[in-house]
């Protein structure tokens, strides 16, 4: 059974940092691109960051560029999102997803999703 589990969310003050993790089990996702998405209350899920299977290519939404860093450790089948300079507008449930292909591009279909981890940034 394929499973993605996000962790690392929590409550942080404006300007603080958090590191999210997405651990995969049930199969290897080393050959597939992965991404982070988020959904704020009352809003649709939106793209945050994406990474190719090798980790060499990354992509960020404008709202987080320069503050967030996506990375992955294929040996551990884990993806990370380092979030610095957090703002109240970053408050959301953060989800990780695994793409159907090896290269990352926006709009790629995610074949698997985690259940999310809540990030709350207080002002």
Phi-psi group of 64: left, alpha or beta (phi > 0 → left; psi -120 to 50 → alpha; rest → beta): alpha
Q: Are 32 and 12 in contact (CB under 8 A)?
A: no
Q: Which whole number is the average pLDDT over 92-113?
A: 92
The pLDDT of residue 47 = 97
Of 118, 104, 102, the C-alpha closest to 70 is 104
Higher per-residue confidence, 2 vs 51: 51
CA dist 20 and 56 (Å) reads 19
Q: Using alpha carbons only, what angle is made at residue 21 by residues 110 and 67, rounded to the nearest 5 degrees?
A: 90
Percent of the chain topping pLDDT 90? 85
Check whether 28 has a pLDDT greater than 80: no
Q: Which two tokens stand for residue 9?
A: 């969310």
| pLDDT reported for residue 84 | 98
The dihedral built from the CA positions of residue 25, 97, 95 and 62, taken in this order, carries a sign that is positive
Reported as a single tens digit per residue, the pLDDT across 32-70 is 999 999 999 999 999 999 999 999 999 999 999 999 999
Residue 57 is predicted with a pLDDT of: 96
Nearest alpha carbon to residue 111 among 120, 119, 123, 102:
102
Q: pLDDT tens digits, residue range 84-100?
A: 999 999 999 999 999 98
- The pLDDT, as a whole number, for residue 49 is 98
């Amino acid at each position: 059974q394929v499973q993605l589990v996000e962790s690392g969310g929590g409550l942080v003050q404006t300007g603080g940092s958090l590191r999210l993790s997405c651990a995969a089990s049930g199969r290897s996702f080393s050959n597939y691109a992965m991404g982070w998405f988020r959904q704020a209350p009352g809003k649709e899920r939106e793209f945050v960051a994406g990474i190719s299977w090798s980790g060499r290519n990354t992509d960020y939404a404008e709202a987080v560029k320069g503050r967030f860093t996506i990375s992955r450790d294929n040996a551990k089948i884990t993806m990370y999102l380092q979030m610095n300079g957090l703002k109240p507008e970053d408050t959301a449930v953060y989800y990780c997803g695994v793409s159907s292909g090896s290269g990352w591009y926006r709009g790629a279909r995610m074949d698997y999703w985690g259940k999310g981890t809540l990030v709350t940034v207080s002002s």
